[in-house]
Amino acid sequence: MLRLSAAALALTLLAAPAAFAQPADASVTLTFETGARSGRVMVALYDSEASYTSGSPVATAAVDASGSVVAVFDNLPAGDYAMKSFHDVNGDGQMNTNPFGMPTEPYAFSNNAVGNMGPASWDRARFTVSGDTAQTISIR
Q: What local confidence, expressed as pLDDT, does residue 55 receive? A: 85
Amino acid at position 8, single letter: A
Under DSSP, the state recorded for 113 is -
Q: What is the mean pLDDT of residues 8-18?
A: 40
Does an H or E element contain 57, and which?
none
pTM for the whole structure: 0.82
Domain borders along the chain are: 26-138
Phi, psi values for residue 110, rounded to 5°: -60, 155
Q: What is the mean pLDDT of residues 27-50?
A: 96
Asked whether the predicted pLDDT for residue 132 surpasses 90, the reply is yes
SS3 call for 16: helix
Q: Which CATH architecture has domain 26-138?
A: Sandwich (2.60)
End-to-end CA distance of the chain: 64
Residues 18 and 61: beta-carbon distance below 8 Å: no
